[in-house]
Structure 1
Amino acid sequence: MKRLCILLFSVVCSTAWATDAPAPTRWTLLDQFEKAYTLDDAARVVLVARSMSTARLVNGALEEKPEGYLDARHVVYVADIEKMPSFAKLVAVPAMRSAKYRIMLDQTGRVANRYDGDRETVQWLEVEDGKVVREQRFNDAAALQAALEALPQ
């Protein structure tokens, strides 16, 4: 009877521990070309820009970089355009198609809101198996560019 109680207790505890563990954060967004992207284990960094000023900062860090620069470093760029007025989206999204890098468009804020960030800085989220393991924030294009350069290819 004692063994049965111990066994039952250990099963209940292990189940509780398993449910307390955070589930990997997976999401799917469309890019500026309306192609779907799902966060996968290959991604090392997720950049989140929540305003026009932070999007300009990312663009400033990437404007001279070749096509495929972010992909080679396993970086995913998410632009939170939820608060952008509808008319502005009609102009901005087609303009984004000229970028040499892929931009995941969070039109409803459902992805960006998962990560506690602000509208004044670019959020840099290092991920492993879909989980955030480290966070940085950038308000300077040169510093963001240097951090991107330091990533292994």
Structure 2
Amino acid sequence: MRYLSVLLLSLLPLLAQAVEVGERLAPWTLLDQFDQAYSLDDQTRTLLVARGMDGAKLVKEALQDRPKGYLEARHTVFVADIQRMPALIAKMFAIPAMRDYNYRVLLDRDARVATRYAGAEDKVLWLQLDNGRLVAQQEYATAAALREALEKAPH
């Protein structure tokens, strides 16, 4: 019985509805590393989602040496799924370190946003939006490829 319960719980993420091209993304609001709220709106053109630490590191490397406001100028927001990070580590070390970043990190502490968008744990998911609708999606496995895509993004 215990085995069956574990199996069913492990399959739950597969049952989540993945957003399809042409669909409007459901609204959400998250706090950033400064506890400032951000709500997804129709002005957002690109949504970057890191579902694990490896993806977040790719974003950090891709944005290294980029000026403050770089993502905002491209109407891009970055969501980091930190729900698996122990709360004490997040509060004492990780989030204070993020305050030194020159970009905004929207923190998905309860996995209520990042899990809406299917993607690999070790990659960065790029969702291209037009007035809140998904028009394309792609995953990036290297910081160089992500940086190149960001450079080409309209601003």
Q: Which band: TM-score by shorter chain?
A: 0.7 to 0.9
Equivalent residue of 2:100, what SS? Answer: coil
Counterpart residue number, 1:39: 40
Structure 2: give runs of 5+ residues left out of the alignment.
Answer: 1-21
Counterpart residue number, 2:9: none
Q: TM-score when scaled to structure 1?
A: 0.83
Counterpart residue number, 2:79: 78
Q: CA RMSD in A?
A: 1.4
Counterpart residue number, 1:66: 67
Percent of matched pairs sharing the same residue: 50
Counterpart residue number, 1:112: 114
Q: Distance in 1 between matches of 2:86 and 2:25?
A: 32
Q: Contact 1:25–1:131 at 8 Å: present in 2 too?
A: no
1:140 is the counterpart of 2:138: no
Q: Distance in 1 between matches of 2:82 and 2:61?
A: 18
Structure 1: give runs of 5+ residues left out of the alignment.
Answer: 1-20
- Greater radius of gyration (CA): 1
Q: Contact 2:24–2:134 at 8 Å: present in 1 too?
A: no
Structure 1 position 150, deviation (Å): 0.1
Counterpart residue number, 2:101: 99
Structure 1 position 129, deviation (Å): 2.3
Q: Contact 1:127–1:133 at 8 Å: present in 2 too?
A: yes
Equivalent residue of 2:120, what SS? Answer: coil
Q: Distance in 2 between matches of 1:23 and 1:45?
A: 13
Q: Distance in 1 between matches of 2:95 and 2:28?
A: 20
Structure 1 position 87, deviation (Å): 2.6
User: Could you list the per-position Cα deviations for residues 122-153 of structure 1 after superposition, in whole angstroms to 9, with x for gaps in the alignment?
Assistant: 00001122222211000100000000000111
Q: Contact 1:80–1:109 at 8 Å: present in 2 too?
A: yes
| 1:23/1:152 CA distance change after superposition, 3 Å | closer
Q: Distance in 2 between matches of 1:47 and 1:152?
A: 15
Aligned residues: 133
Equivalent residue of 2:122, what SS? Answer: coil
| 1:22/1:152 CA distance change after superposition, 3 Å | closer
Bigger shift: residues 22-31 or 115-124: 22-31
User: Could you list the per-position Cα deviations for residues 56-113 of structure 1 after superposition, in whole angstroms to 9, with x for gaps in the alignment?
Assistant: 1100000110000000000000000011122321210111000000110000010001
Counterpart residue number, 1:48: 49
Q: Contact 2:53–2:122 at 8 Å: present in 1 too?
A: no
